[in-house]
Structure 1
Amino acid sequence: MQMPSPASGGIQNSRLVQDEIPIWYHGAISRESAESLLQKKPAGCFLVRISESHVGYTLSYRARDCSRHYMIKCLSDGNLVIPGEMEIHPTLVELVSFHQETPLHPHKDLLTLPCGQEPEA
């Protein structure tokens, strides 16, 4: 299974996901929905969603006292980058894995726990 493209709503390049969609990938959910999902989670809990404001994705995570949101830009060569960061990543999986070991700037937070899909009431 492959992830939908944020640019076209179609199927994204297969380099993003090898076998299946990661538990932390939530697709086209709003910032408010992301914050609601993360609200009672521990610091470091994260998800990735299709951005509402730009072509690309948004990394949303729970910090100690709030939720934070980082833009993930899709470069013309298919790679991904968080603006302001030096590292370029070929896939969302690799970007997430990198930030599970290397803190996000400027807040120096690590991604620790994937936020899975919540069952609907």
Structure 2
Amino acid sequence: FGGVSEEDALKFVTLNPAKLLHLDEYVGSIKAGKHADVVLWSGHPLSMYSRAEKTFIDGTLFFDRTADLEAREDIAAERHRLIQQMLDDKKNGGKTQKVSSQRQYRHYHCDDYEDEAR
């Protein structure tokens, strides 16, 4: 941890930034009355091998790694089903669309004053 204690190293990424932003009365540590934004890690939170297992924002579960992995499997299965359906339709003479590589990309420059929303 760069020669500092574990507690100080954790403060470097939690409480100290909150103090610098003058938000430490709301975030930066776990205390009654503060916003309940918490991440549960698979290991030590400062280890590069640790993964976020669950994230709570304002006390509500926002991310769950187990549910995310299950959703990924469901999405992959649905993607496979749709691709197979398209291939079957093509094989059976169904209508297909030609591949279009004529995408219009806008090149932005720092001198551009136009707003894309207009």
- Mark the structure with the bigger radius of gyration: 2
Normalised TM-score (structure 1): 0.22
TM-score, scaled relative to structure 2: 0.22
Higher relative contact order (CA 8 A, sep 6+): 1
